[in-house]
Structure 1
Amino acid sequence: MQQRRSTFSVLFYIKRKKLLKNGDAPVYMRVTVDGRFLEASLKRGVNPKSWNEKKQRSTGRDRLSLELNDYIADTLAKLLKIHQRFTDEKKIINPKTILEEWARKAEKPKMLCEVFKEENLKYRQRLAIGDLVLNTVLRNERAERYLGEFIRKKFNTPDMPFSAIDNAFVRDFHLFLRVDKKQEQNTANKYCKILKRIVTLALDNKWMDVNPFQGIRFQAKATTRQFLTEKELSTIMNKTFTLERLNVVRDIFVFCALTGLSFSDVEGLKPEHVSVDGEGNYWIHKARQKTKNICSIPYLESARAIAEKYKEHPLCEKRGVLLPVISNQRMNSYLGEIAGICGIDKPLTMHIARHSFACLALANGVSMEIIARMLGHSDIRTTKIYAKVIDKSIAEQMSALASKFGSQK
């Protein structure tokens, strides 16, 4: 006797009276076999105004609506396939057995912000073992926060599956950074580069199929690296401030201008990084926090004198370091005060100290290769940027000179 084929249907609908916190209606499905049915949530939401009950789909054209419709179609296909297999294998067919099999095989899609947060937690762990510097970790966490703000504003949802991320999403995020967060072009590019790293992880793990960065090339804006002239540096060095905190910050800035160390490197500078060669010359040998490349820097007497001043400073004794470095943000804030007092019309920051070291060394005949070694650059092309800065400065000064004397006959 031939086995009677069971009747089977699936209905997708929304619950308008049980709205989610963001105002969306939860999407459900009802699986019916031989008149008996069970309901299950798709764990998705949709704007009630966009739901078409007849078509059992969203009428919205935004990415989330399209992703929902694709998910509904995929779910229906899987349920039909399960029913057909159960029929072929003569298994017990009822709503419960079908939904249990669907739930067993269904995988929760990987979500962008969720994975981003997990990766940043790993970055925090790497920071604890000295594998990363704090600024890198903070930049990644800022990118995560901005991305979350963008998704909530643009899509009215706290997170999005990787499958919903496309080319327009990336471009819109870049625009959000420029307009809403008022980020400079190059800074916005950096945040998008961080997002690209998360997307690459998703592509490698097959969480998404299409690379949303395909064909996107964000143009970098040319910037001029500021540096201090010898006269400006001397003005700062010889100035005595009434506030002790400004004297301390000035000393640390000058130390960096005399050694080329970055903020993160001077912050972690310890006595063991200092050595004396056979001829009595002092050196700083230290792996850069950013690249792990070894810096080999002559430790000038003027720089040593600064460190000697803080030998018994409580902060230095507590941390076992040479200088009482405070946070980069506070340092830069105080440097702004110092620039104003000294009459220097430049945005004085800790990074300008490193630029000044490189430019002044070039101007005084130190070779590019030696400067690259002192700065710990992996590629001399990075060091050549400072040569362009020097050339531009010379050209500007000669242009000013020409305007004064060029018109004489």
Structure 2
Amino acid sequence: MCYASNAPFYAPYFFMTTQFVLRTDKKDGAGRCPVHLIAYFDGLRLKCATGEKCKPSEWNEGRQRFRGSFTGAEKANNFLELRAALVSEWWRTVRAAGGTPTMAGLKAALQPVVEAVVVVPVRRSITVLNDEHREALRARGYANHTLRQRKMLCSWLGNYERDRGELLDPTTYDLATHDRVLHYLRFDRNLAQNTVASFVRGLKVFLRWCREERGMSVPVELRKLQGKHADVLKMGLSAEDLAALTTAMLPAHLTRVRDVLLFCCYTGLRYSDVWALQPGNLHEWDGARVLRLVQTKPRTGVSIYLTEAAGAIIDRYAADGERALLLPVLANQVMNRHLKQVGKYAGLTAPVVLVERVAGQMVKKSVPKYELLTSHTARHTFATQSLLRGMPVEVLQKVMGHAKIQTTLIYAKVVEDLQHQTMRRIWEGHLGAAGSVETRAGQICAVKPTAA
């Protein structure tokens, strides 16, 4: 029962009274005594401990309350008031039912059963969290190509949720869910094996961010998320191919595309770097010119010597007047589409066997070389042609801006001519003949693009 703050606590309530007493006879080692509740029911006396303790000097016996000197006195007194109110409510119920108060009933009244609160976990879609992840990366200054990869990852996951009707939550993402997602990407969306492998790599980065930076409980072991990369054809152009491109008669709108491709073949620049070239990247060096720039992807500085053929391409478009950019580079997708036409005009029709994994099956097909021509072909061409002409791998690494020499050595593995030359020289003592790569060493830089 509730009691007035300025009156003794002992008060009748329909033949029931409650009282709080300090049991000074049960003092502990710290000098504290337990506080007991005593309830009187028309001659019946029931007593139980409240769980509170204090020193005798901290207890007001007349008011049956804790003194102000007791730490937490206000909360402790409120606790006693609540005990009294619970006993009063219980007694009212017992009396209305015609029952008799018991010790078990009193203890039950003072320790009411608290209904379990069912916490419904809030599930969050991976797609929503991925947007948050991308914005965090943007704030940290990550490059645009990384942000585009995160966006593509979000698009694939969103398509899965929409098509399968299953919400993907990082806190419930397990291996079974992962297998369903991979099956969807590989067979429903017909994504290539390396595209799926890139998806898995990006997903692992995202889930690690959820776990380590957002404190989410991600059940799956990231090392078990498998996505195998397959070796793909890294096509580079031969000296004959380059000569055919430079002399091909092209429509005016394809000439610019061809020139940009050749410029990248002579410098090894990626599309993203040649697209952003400005006059400020040109510098004089020992009577010639060099390009100095910070690459977009690895953000490393490179210095590239401009051969006569590369310089001629820059000079051709410098004649257009004041330009913000050095070369007229089109959007990458548009350029790749036009490059197929350029290759067809140049007669790059030699068959190339293309091996792909489609829906889990190895599929081999023969396609003309021009169908595989892209802006990135130029970078492979520069690497392979440089190695064929004797450029040391360490120098090639610096020119291409590779952080690790192992990346550069990949090109050495695909230079088939270089392997055959070395083996023939070692086994047969052959030093090269007319028409060999050595006698054509100057061709790549000697030819100049022919205007349409």
Q: Report the TM-score, using the length of structure 2 for normalisation.
A: 0.60
Whole-angstrom CA distance in 2 between matches of 1:359 and 1:120 = 36
Structure 2 segments unaligned to the other structure (5+ residues): 1-38, 40-82, 91-108, 349-367, 425-452
1:350 aligns with 2:375: yes
Query: Residues 64-117 of structure 1: CA distance to partner in whole angstroms, max 9, x if unpaired?
Result: xxxxxxxxxxxxxxxxxxxxxxx9899xx8x9xx98xx89xx874443111112
1:132 aligns with 2:140: no
Residue 39 of structure 1: aligned partner: none
Deviation at 1:144, TM superposition (A): 0.8
1:372 aligns with 2:397: yes
Does the C-alpha gap of structure 1 residues 123 and 215 become closer, same or farther in structure 2, counting only changes over 3 Å? closer
1:335 aligns with 2:339: yes
What count of residue pairs does the alignment treat as equivalent?
301
Please, which of 224, 247, 258 is the counterpart of residue 238 of structure 1?
247
Does the C-alpha gap of structure 1 residues 389 and 196 become closer, same or farther in structure 2, counting only changes over 3 Å? same
1:252 aligns with 2:260: yes
Residue 128 of structure 2: aligned partner: 114
Deviation at 1:206, TM superposition (A): 2.1
Deviation at 1:161, TM superposition (A): 2.5
Does the C-alpha gap of structure 1 residues 395 and 187 become closer, same or farther in structure 2, counting only changes over 3 Å? farther
Range that drifts further, 256-265 or 266-275? 266-275
Residue 385 of structure 2: aligned partner: 360
CA root-mean-square deviation:
3.2
Deviation at 1:6, TM superposition (A): 9.9
Please, which of 364, 367, 388 is the counterpart of residue 413 of structure 2?
388
For residues 60-71 of structure 1, the aligned pairs below 5 Å read none
Does the C-alpha gap of structure 1 residues 188 and 308 become closer, same or farther in structure 2, counting only changes over 3 Å? same
Residue 216 of structure 1: aligned partner: 225
Does the C-alpha gap of structure 1 residues 136 and 328 become closer, same or farther in structure 2, counting only changes over 3 Å? farther
Residue 81 of structure 1: aligned partner: none
**Contact kept in structure 2, 1:336 and 1:348, CA below 8 Å:** yes
Does the C-alpha gap of structure 1 residues 88 and 325 become closer, same or farther in structure 2, counting only changes over 3 Å? farther
Residue 23 of structure 1: aligned partner: none
Deviation at 1:393, TM superposition (A): 7.5
Please, which of 279, 295, 298 is the counterpart of residue 291 of structure 1?
298
Residue 65 of structure 2: aligned partner: none
For residues 4-403 of structure 1, the aligned pairs below 5 Å read 108-123=122-137, 131-133=142-144, 135-154=145-164, 156-157=165-166, 159-204=167-212, 205-241=214-250, 243-277=251-285, 279-311=286-318, 313=320, 317=323, 320-344=324-348, 345-346=368-369, 347-391=372-416
Whole-angstrom CA distance in 2 between matches of 1:153 and 1:118 = 23
**Contact kept in structure 2, 1:361 and 1:371, CA below 8 Å:** yes
Deviation at 1:283, TM superposition (A): 1.2
Does the C-alpha gap of structure 1 residues 137 and 326 become closer, same or farther in structure 2, counting only changes over 3 Å? farther
Does the C-alpha gap of structure 1 residues 114 and 343 become closer, same or farther in structure 2, counting only changes over 3 Å? same
Residue 283 of structure 2 aligns to a residue whose secondary structure is strand
For 1:326, the aligned partner's letter is L
Q: Report the TM-score, using the length of structure 1 for normalisation.
A: 0.66
Deviation at 1:170, TM superposition (A): 1.9
Deviation at 1:175, TM superposition (A): 2.3
Higher RCO (C-alpha 8 Å, min separation 6):
2
Does the C-alpha gap of structure 1 residues 384 and 301 become closer, same or farther in structure 2, counting only changes over 3 Å? same
Query: Residues 185-212 of structure 1: CA distance to partner in whole angstroms, max 9, x if unpaired?
Result: 1111101211111101111122124234
Deviation at 1:122, TM superposition (A): 4.5
Whole-angstrom CA distance in 1 between matches of 2:278 and 2:121 = 51
For 2:307, the aligned partner's letter is L
**Contact kept in structure 2, 1:174 and 1:189, CA below 8 Å:** no
Whole-angstrom CA distance in 1 between matches of 2:247 and 2:417 = 28
Query: Residues 240-260 of structure 1: CA distance to partner in whole angstroms, max 9, x if unpaired?
Result: 21x211000000000000000
Identity %: 25
Deviation at 1:264, TM superposition (A): 0.1
- Structure with higher Rg: it is 2
Residue 295 of structure 1 aligns to a residue whose secondary structure is strand
Whole-angstrom CA distance in 2 between matches of 1:369 and 1:151 = 47
Does the C-alpha gap of structure 1 residues 302 and 255 become closer, same or farther in structure 2, counting only changes over 3 Å? same
For 1:325, the aligned partner's letter is V
